[in-house]
Amino acid sequence: MSRYVSIWFPHLRTDWHALREPHLHQLPFVLRSLQHNRMVVSACNAMAQASGILVGMPLADARAIVTNLQVKDDADDLPIKLLTRLATWCIRFSPTVAVDLPNGLLIDVTGCTHLWGGEEKYVFNLMHKLRQRGYTLHAAMADTIGHAWGLARHGGGIVPAGKHLDHLLHLPPAALRLDPETNIQLHKLGLQCIGQIFHIPRTSLRKRFGTEILLRLDQALGHVIESLTPVIVPEPYQHRLPCLEPVKTPTAIAIALQQLLEELCLRLQKESKGLRTCTFSAHRIDGKVEQLKIGTHQATHHVSHLFKLCEPKLTTIDPAWGIDLFILEATGVEACSPQQEVIWDAQQHHAALAELIDRLTNKAGDVIHRYEPAQHHWPERSIAQTKSLHTQTTLWPAAHLRPVQLLAAPDRIEVTAPIPDYPPMLFRYKGQLHHIVKADGPERIEQEWWITPGLHRDYYRVEDENGKRYWLFRLGHYQEKTAQWFLHGFFA
């Protein structure tokens, strides 16, 4: 059964201003905004509200009620910014936290409360930590989003699982998230609780109030399923480790990483999958998040190998005043077939090579590269860089010899060559003259006209007097005195 928590901040914007100017806590304080060419109260703190000031009241009337009223300009985008920041902070309590404009949050706490010792302790800790941050709030937990929303704004508390109907019927109609006009009509008709609406025929409700009231009622009862849009969509492979007390030591951080890696790798192993990229996040009590990221060259669920990749980067995590939540997310996952450890020794060496590359890459950076053949005739396009050890889909061509080292761009050279289609007799490269003693060719490679138009190339494999071999080509057909020659690669 699903469980949801709704959090309501009745003075969200004024609380935020008071956090930056503490003296406002002791004074009646409102925010103003321009509506229909007049200044009105857009938000007020508890003292101003207790003095009779209401949201939507003209600012002149509010000042007439309270002579020492403190006024500041409001910002339209302030609620979404504040709620997004608070929702991101609340991820330590659940991976699914959504913004509920204009002044609330919705949290899917299904399967989370046992980590705090039960639902009561869960809600208490959540409210306590948010109040420590300086916000006034009310919270409620129920089986449906609609019920939790209404309860948070009309009493608060925790409704036991499966008992939401009895509690919901005693709430006022405003707890159904109806528009203000509908609430006024219901009040005029003397309908003081949802139970009275519940027993009215649905056809009569639809004719009098439209379909919205039926939808809201069904949502609160759980007959229509609602979904949340979290501020951060959790990865499919995510494991969390909340801390009862904030941790600060490197040893505790390493233990948390080890435990999360064991849980994640066990799950991946059961599903015949392996990790390619992952992110380890440490959520500090001051709201900041410290992260480290690693990647592998083949899918793996080897715990000790992954821990060794992360270990050198653990020193970059600054715990500050303490960390109260660790999250490990596998952001890249691939299929990983089980290896026959005894029969296929080659697979063991292959895995060991991949782990060695991972360690070197994570220590020294992206310094190791692997290439695979690409389906192109043109030499510059015939290879492609890859990070995987298993992505090769095309075999290296064996019909023609190719140099071990291919230049990214051919270098222009000076050549002395006899009649057409004969290899050159000598060439000058970077100021050094090379006399050719052996040669083979030509091999004509046509330009891939569907990609780039241009002339063909006639390639020659040549060897100079020192035994060094080169890959040369002439661009286009032979033209005396104007032929262009290039060096494109070196053979071993």
When pLDDT is cut at 50, 70 and 90, the band that residue 385 belongs to is confident
Beta strands in 202-252 (DSSP E): 238-247
The pairing of beta strand 70-73 with beta strand 96-100: unpaired
pLDDT, tens digit (0-9, with 9 covering 90-100), for 295-327: 888 888 899 899 999 988 998 999 988 998 899
When pLDDT is cut at 50, 70 and 90, the band that residue 337 belongs to is low
Which one of 1.10.10.10, 3.30.1490.100, 3.40.50.80, 3.30.450.40 gives the CATH number of domain 238-335? 3.30.1490.100
When pLDDT is cut at 50, 70 and 90, the band that residue 343 belongs to is very low
State residue 348's pLDDT score.
Answer: 47
Mean pLDDT of the chain: 87
Q: How is residue 368 written in tokens? A: 């190791």
Distances from the Cα of 487 to the Cαs of 99, 198, 245, in angstroms? Answer: 62, 86, 66
d(CA 347, CA 330): 24
164 touches 142 (CB < 8 A): yes
Higher pLDDT, 380 or 291: 291
Say yes or no to pLDDT of 393 above 60.
no
CATH 3.40.1170.60 residue window(s) in the chain: 1-234
State residue 245's pLDDT score.
Answer: 85
- Taking domain 1-234, whether its CATH number is 3.40.1170.60 is answered by yes
State residue 388's pLDDT score.
Answer: 65
Q: How is residue 333 written in tokens? A: 């996952």
Mean pLDDT of 331-351: 60
Mean pLDDT of 45-67: 92
Give the closest residue to 137 by CA, choosing from 100, 95, 177, 184.
100
d(CA 102, CA 99): 9
State residue 339's pLDDT score.
Answer: 52
CATH 3.30.1490.100 residue window(s) in the chain: 238-335
When pLDDT is cut at 50, 70 and 90, the band that residue 376 belongs to is confident
Say yes or no to pLDDT of 435 above 80.
yes
pLDDT, tens digit (0-9, with 9 covering 90-100), for 3-43: 999 999 999 999 999 999 999 988 999 999 998 889 999 99
Would you give the distance in Å from CA 196 to the centre of its chain?
46
Say yes or no to pLDDT of 373 above 90.
no
- Please name the helix (run of DSSP H) or strand (run of DSSP E) that holds residue 323, with its range, or none: strand 323-335
Higher pLDDT, 310 or 361: 310
Would you give the distance in Å from CA 250 to the centre of its chain?
26
Q: How is residue 226 written in tokens? A: 């609602």
Least confident stretch, 24-33, 41-50, 444-453: 444-453
pLDDT, tens digit (0-9, with 9 covering 90-100), for 86-127: 999 998 898 899 999 999 999 999 988 888 889 999 999 999
Percentage, residues of the chain above pLDDT 70: 94
